[in-house]
Amino acid sequence: MSAAFPGDHPNCSMILCGPLKDHVMTFLHYLKSCPPSAVRSLILQKKPSIRNMSSTAGGLRPASVVVLHRSLAPAFEKFCQANSGPLPLLGRSEPGKWTLPTLGTAPDTRTGRPQFQKYEFGACTGSLASLEKYSEQLKDMVTFFLGCSFSLEGALEKVGLPRRDPAGHVGAYKTAVPCVHVAGFCCPLVVTMRPIPKDKLERLMQASCSTVGQPIHIGDPELLGIKDLSKPDYGDPVVCQPGDVPVFWPSQLTGLEAVSSCKTPLAFTSAPGCTVMTDLKDMESPANRLTPEGIPEVHLISQDPLHYSITSASAARKIRELETIIAVDPGNRGIGHLLCKDELLRASLSLSHARSVLITTGFPTHFKHEPPEETDGPPGAIALATFLQALEKGVSMIVDQRALSLFKKLVEEAVEQGVMKTQTPILTYQGGSAEAAQAFLCENRDPKSPRFDHLVAIERTGRAADGGHYNARKMNVKHLVDPIDDLFLAAQKIPGISSTGVGDGGNELGMGKVKEAVKRHIRNGDVIACDVEADFAVIAGVSNWGGYALACALYILNSCEVHERYLRKAVGPSRAPGEQNWAQALPSITKEENMLGILVRHKVRSGVSGIVGMEVDGLPFHSTHTQIIQKLLDVTSVSM
C-alpha cells in the first residue's frame, strides 16, 4: 500500500515493502481495535497519512471534503441534494469554521493530514498537504463533508470476495450520464467499478445495499459512456477476470467535477483516495433486517450488450403474481407447457430501460371476412402503448399495409374514447430482406444507432418453419401478412435491441423461443409453431392479458424505489407515481370495454367463434375478461 509522509515536499510519498510494510500492517490491525476517538486522534497527529482508508477505522465514517466560497454554498448544497447518490451530504460548516456539531468532533480541514487539491477557475492547479497558508481566504469559505464509497470493500468481504485493490486507490470513471444542473454546477456522474463473479451478484446486492447503497449499473461500461475500463479518469484500474461482471457505484469524486465546472476563482477538495474521518458511523443494517421493499433482486435482461437490471423482492413478487393470473388456460390449449418462469418480469425490466418501443399486432385469422383481424391483440397492444406513453417513452406501432387504414381508425377512436391519451405513429414494413430490415430499424442504416431498443409483438401472426403463417386450424394466411417477422430476426443481430413476444397458442410472433414445447404439446403444433423467437416469451391464456400485464408490471417497477433509483443512476429527484398520473394510464374494465366496442363497430371478429360481439377468443368480456383485468389491477393497486 502507499503512505504519504510529511516532509520538505508536500507530496512526498513512498511505497512500503519488507519490514516497514509489516510494521504498517500491524499498525492497521491496531487501528481496527481502537475506539473511534483514539483513531481520530491518531489520524490528526503528524503520523503517516494512510491514503487508502477503506480498511481502517471501522467505527468511523470516511468523508471527502469540498471547500467553496460562501456565495456558492447554497447552490452547491442544492446540487448535492439533487444528486444525492454520488454526493451524499453529511454536513456543512459555517464560513470560517471547521467543526460540524452534527457530526461530532470532526477533523480541522486546515490541518488534517489527508491531501487536498486546489482549483482555480475550474482547473486543478496543485496538491496540498495542508490549507494553513490559505487561512485568510478560508474565512469566507464553507466546508462540505460528503459520504464516501470506501466501505464497499467490506461488502465484498461479506460475500467472500477477495480484495483486488490496486497499488494506489481504486479507479473511477467519468460517464456520459449528466448530473442534474444547479446554477453553475454542471458535470457528469463519476462512478467507481468492482468486478464481481456473476454467481455472487445476488449476494453482493444484499450486502452492499445494506451498507453503502445499491449500484447504479451492472454490465457493459459503454452503456454509461465508458470506453475503456483499463483507463480510469481517477486512480488505478481493477482488472476483470473471466466470468466477472462490471458493477458500478456512484462516486463522491463527482464533487471534483462539479467544482471544476463552476470555475470559481478558488476552491479546495480532498485529493482522490484521501478522506477525513468523522464520528458519523455507517448506518449498517444486516440484509436480513431489510424490509421486503429494500431487498434487491438482480436479473439479466440483455447479453449484447451485457446488461442486468434490479428491482426489489416485493416488486418482483407482485409481477410473478401477474404472470400467474394471465397463465390460466380457459381454452385448454395446453399453454402451461409453454410457460417459462419470470419471462414477464424480465420483459418488463427490459421495457423499463427502453427509450423507444415498436409494437406490432394483427392476426388475420378470419381470411374470408373483411377485416380478417381478430379482437385479440389490438386491445393489449394499445394498453401497453398507452402506459409506455405515460412513462414518456417513444412508442410506435407497425401493422400490415392492408390493415393500415383500420388501425389508424382504431387508434384515433381510442383517443376519442379516452382509452389512449395521445395517438401513436403507425408504420408499415414491406422490405423483405435482411438489409431492408436493418435499414428500417437503424438510423442511416447504422447498427450502432437503432431507432428502437425494444420490439413487442402481441398476438401477431408468426412465421412457421416452412415460411407459412398458420392459424390454429392450420390455415395458411401468408398472403395477408407483411414480413414484419424479418424485423425481429434482424434485431437479433443488432446490439441494443431486445424483443418480446406475447402469445396464447404458439403460432404468434416471438414464440419461436418455445417452439419445441409447442410442437409437443399444442394441437397442430408441428405445423403452426412460430419459428421466429423473441428474447422474452410471455405466455397468456389470451394475448390481450399479456399486454395488460406488461403495463401493470411497468407500473409496479417504476413505483419501486430500488428500480427507480437504478433507472435514474441515482442522480436527480425520484419520480413519485402520484405526480405522474400513471394510474390513469393503466388498463381498466371501462377502457377495455370501450376498446372492444370500437373493434366491434369496425366488425372485427372474435378469434375462436368468429362472432362480431363483446367477446375475445370466444370468451365473453363481461365475465371472463373483466375478472382477469380486475385481478391484475388488484395486484397492481398495492403499489398505488
Q: Which tens digit of pLDDT belongs to each residue from 572-583?
A: 987 765 556 799
Q: pLDDT tens for residues 448-460? A: 999 999 999 999 9
Enter the pTM of the model: 0.87
Confidence at 12, pLDDT banded by 50, 70, 90:
very low
Half-sphere exposure of 520 (CA within 13 A, CB side): 7
Confidence at 405, pLDDT banded by 50, 70, 90:
very high
- What value, to the nearest 5°, has the Cα angle with vertex 522 and ends 520 and 526? 60
| Residues 6 or more apart in contact with residue 265 via CB below 8 angstroms | 69, 120, 121
Is pLDDT above 60 for 640? no
Confidence at 212, pLDDT banded by 50, 70, 90:
low
Q: pLDDT tens for residues 505-543? A: 999 999 999 999 999 999 999 999 999 999 999 999 999
Q: How much is the average pLDDT of 246-262?
A: 96
User: Tell me, what's the pLDDT at 489?
Assistant: 98
Half-sphere exposure of 108 (CA within 13 A, CB side): 11
Confidence at 277, pLDDT banded by 50, 70, 90:
confident
Cα–Cα distance for residue pair 335/540, rounded to 1 Å: 8
Whose CA is closest to 527, among 480, 457, 466?
466
Whose CA is closest to 192, among 163, 217, 227?
217
Is pLDDT above 70 for 38? no
User: Tell me, what's the pLDDT at 29?
Assistant: 43
Confidence at 8, pLDDT banded by 50, 70, 90:
very low
Please, are residues 335 and 505 in contact by the beta-carbon 8 Å criterion?
yes
Confidence at 24, pLDDT banded by 50, 70, 90:
very low
Is pLDDT above 50 for 26? no
Cell output for 294? 429494500
Task: Give the pairing of strands 454-460 and 356-362.
Answer: parallel
User: Tell me, what's the pLDDT at 346?
Assistant: 98
Confidence at 625, pLDDT banded by 50, 70, 90:
very high
- Per DSSP, the residues of 192-254 read EEEEEEGGGHHHHHHHHHTTT---SEEE-GGGGT---TTS-SBSB--PPPTTEEEEEEE-TTH
Cite the DSSP H helix spans in 267-403: 313-326, 343-353, 378-390
State the Cα torsion 271-272-277-282 to the nearest 10°: 150
Q: How much is the average pLDDT of 67-88?
A: 95
For 455, the enclosing helix (H) or strand (E) is strand 454-460
Confidence at 161, pLDDT banded by 50, 70, 90:
confident
Confidence at 389, pLDDT banded by 50, 70, 90:
very high
User: Tell me, what's the pLDDT at 231?
Assistant: 95
Cα–Cα distance for residue pair 63/47, rounded to 1 Å: 19
User: 435: exposed, middle or buried (C-beta count within 10 Å: 0-12, 13-18, 19+)?
Assistant: exposed
User: 578: exposed, middle or buried (C-beta count within 10 Å: 0-12, 13-18, 19+)?
Assistant: exposed
For 584, the enclosing helix (H) or strand (E) is helix 582-585
Q: pLDDT tens for residues 426-471? A: 999 999 799 999 999 999 999 999 999 999 999 999 999 999 999 9
| Residues 6 or more apart in contact with residue 163 via CB below 8 angstroms | 153, 156, 157
User: Tell me, what's the pLDDT at 474?
Assistant: 96
For the chain, the farthest-separated pair of C-alpha atoms sits apart, in whole angstroms, at: 94
| Residues 6 or more apart in contact with residue 615 via CB below 8 angstroms | 375, 606, 609, 621
